[in-house]
Amino acid sequence: MESLRSTFTSLLGLGPIKYNPSTSIPSLQGKTVLITGGNSGLGKATIQALLQHSPSPPARIWLASRDIDRIQSAIYEITATVPLASTIIVPLILDLASLQSVKDAAERVLKESERLDTMILNAGVMAMPVGVTQDGYEVHWGINHMGHAALTKLLMPLLLKTVEIQEEKDVRIVAVSSGGHRSSPKIDFAKVKTDMKTSFWWTRYAESKLANILWMKALAKEYPQIKCVSLHPGVVSTNIGGATISKYRLVRIGDWLFRWMLTKPEVGCLNQLWAAVGPSEEVETGEYYHPVGVKGCGSVMTKDQGLVMKLLEWTEEELKVHGI
């Protein structure tokens, strides 16, 4: 049974997992980490691993999510296995569908933190109904790309400050993308400011995930002193899917079989753990990785430098409109 499951997961894009958090996570003493979507799934598993396996855990972990009750529930659950978690994790209200909420969250971090060593852009949505964010962007694009792009830009001064004060000069931004980016057509920058109701949800999702990769490549060029990477976590059992996904799961393989093939979050988070705190000489800025640390898996469009720069310029102009 397990060998059959391994075959399926391999077909779904998962390579051999060799990263062992219990022996590979280094000391994070004195460092500050921020994780979006840290209340469940991959984000929660990442926080738990950082606290449980580091010889010296971070001084602070900002757990960013839009729902304070879910944040508090996650902290309670993590603390049950790692008692010191309650003294390290700091709740941060962040709704990526609202650029005003992003501004408010960034303002708080800038006010209360002297440093930011690692930022993991983990939150995301998939299979959402047709709609737009509070700022008028297609919902996948607005949350998965624009919200994170705004947060990154607003916190960039703190990231750059950390480079100056950090002895090892190893500040990182890690964006959780998806192998699904391969299904993206060439991005239509006019359409992403509509609900894109004529596009299938998978296409809308894929465009936002392509944007995650392109954005990290752009930042890697703009800020060579910061390590910026993107990654595919594998096909993981999380609550990322929206209301429309359930009816499509059943079309070919059945919901039970689909769930059986999925990787658990504690395994699915290995690639982002490696990218966030793995050996600096192994993690290359601007790269896109499949699990764990496998590069060269991006689509042709991820290698289009013209598209990288177009996304950067378009995003910067959009953020200016919103005072960011």
List pLDDT tens digits, range 211-228: 999 999 999 999 999 999
**pLDDT-wise least confident of 119-123, 151-155, 231-235:** 231-235
Q: Give the pLDDT band of residue 165 (cuts 50, 70, 90).
A: very high
1-322, CATH topology level: Rossmann fold (3.40.50)
Average pLDDT, the chain: 89
Q: Is 205 a catalytic residue?
A: yes
Half-sphere exposure in the Cβ direction for 242 (13 Å, CA): 16
Q: Is the pTM of this model over 0.95?
A: no
Spatial contact of 166 and 115, defined as CB atoms under 8 Å apart:
yes
pLDDT of the residue at 11: 39
Could you give the CA distance from residue 203 to residue 181 in angstroms, rounded to a whole number?
9
The CB density around residue 280, as the number of other CB atoms within 10 Å, is 14
Which residue of the set 19, 205, 223, 288 is catalytic?
205
Instruction: Answer whether residue 132 shows pLDDT above 60.
Output: yes
